[in-house]
Structure 1
Amino acid sequence: MTHVAPVGGTAVQDHVALAEIELCGDLIIAASAAQDRLSLESIDEVLKVAEERDASHRA
C-alpha cells in the first residue's frame, strides 16, 4: 500500500531548514558572482557571521 500526502493545507514548515536553504542560496549566488574562490572572510560576510556574533553578545 502506498501512502500519499493529502492535498491541501497540511504543509509543515521547518523554519530552521528554510533558513539553511536561504543561506545556501546566498552562498551559491556569491560564489557564482566571484572571480575566484570565496575567501573565508567573504563567506562569513555572506552568512552574516559578524552580525550574529554581535547580536549574541548583546543578549
Structure 2
Amino acid sequence: MALVEIDLYGELMIAAASADEDRLSPDRIDEVLRVEADRSADRSPERSDSANRSTGRTTENAERPETDGPDVG
C-alpha cells in the first residue's frame, strides 16, 4: 500500500513541477490521480466528518476550541 501512495505522490509532484500556476486545481489533482469527484458535495456534513476524522474532531465538537488538559474550575 505504501508503494501505491508513493507512486501517487510522485505523480502529483511531477504535475506540480510542470504546472504554469502556483498550485494545482482540485480538478487537475483529480485528473492526475485518475479519480472523479462530486464537487457538489464539497460542503456536505459527510465530507466534513470524514475530513475531521483525521484530527479526531466531529461536527459535534468541530466548533469548540480544543483544550490541552482537564477542566479546572
| Residues matched between the structures, number | 35
Structure 2 partner of 1:45: 31
| Alpha-carbon displacement from aligned partner over 1:1-55 (angstroms, at most 9, x marks no partner) | xxxxxxxxxxxxxxx10000000000000000001111000000000112xxxxx
Structure 2 partner of 1:10: none
Q: TM-score, normalised by structure 1?
A: 0.57
Cα RMSD after superposing both structures: 0.6
Q: TM-score, normalised by structure 2?
A: 0.47
Structure 2 partner of 1:35: 20
Unaligned runs of 5+ in 2: 37-73
Unaligned runs of 5+ in 1: 1-15, 51-59
Q: Percent identity between the aligned chains?
A: 57
Partners in 2 of 1:47 and 1:35 — Cα distance? 19
Report the structure, 1 or 2, having the larger helix content.
Answer: 1
